[in-house]
Amino acid sequence: MVEKYLAMSKLGQEMGMGKIRVMTDVSAERYWTVVSEMEVADMDTFMKMGEDPEQMKKFGEIMKDYHDLVDHGRREIY
């Protein structure tokens, strides 16, 4: 997952999106936690990121089969 998120970060920066920060834990309730964090100007900017079909195709290629790497997850927007 870390490699996928780092590849997404690189692609996103090339497309003018915010940098994705990828963090992992060393100890926690559940070990092997990966957190990705992205800063955007506002929610409109965030929501528009998924509108370009070509961009989404590239992101889809990076994230192909990522569900095989995930036990569970959640999204938080602040």
Q: What are phi and psi of 22, to 5 degrees?
A: -115, 125
What's the whole-number mean pLDDT along residues 44-57? Answer: 85
pLDDT at 56 over 80: yes
Output the pTM of the full model: 0.76
**Model confidence at 45: pLDDT above 90:** no
Residues 32-47 have a mean pLDDT of 86
Pairing, β 34-38 against β 20-24:
antiparallel
What token pair was written down for 74?
Answer: 């959640």
Residue with the bigger pLDDT between 29 and 71: it is 71
- Higher pLDDT: 15 or 62? It is 62
| Distance (Å, whole) CA 33 – CA 24 | 6
Residue whose C-alpha is closest to residue 5's, from 75, 74, 66? 66
Mean pLDDT of 48-73: 89
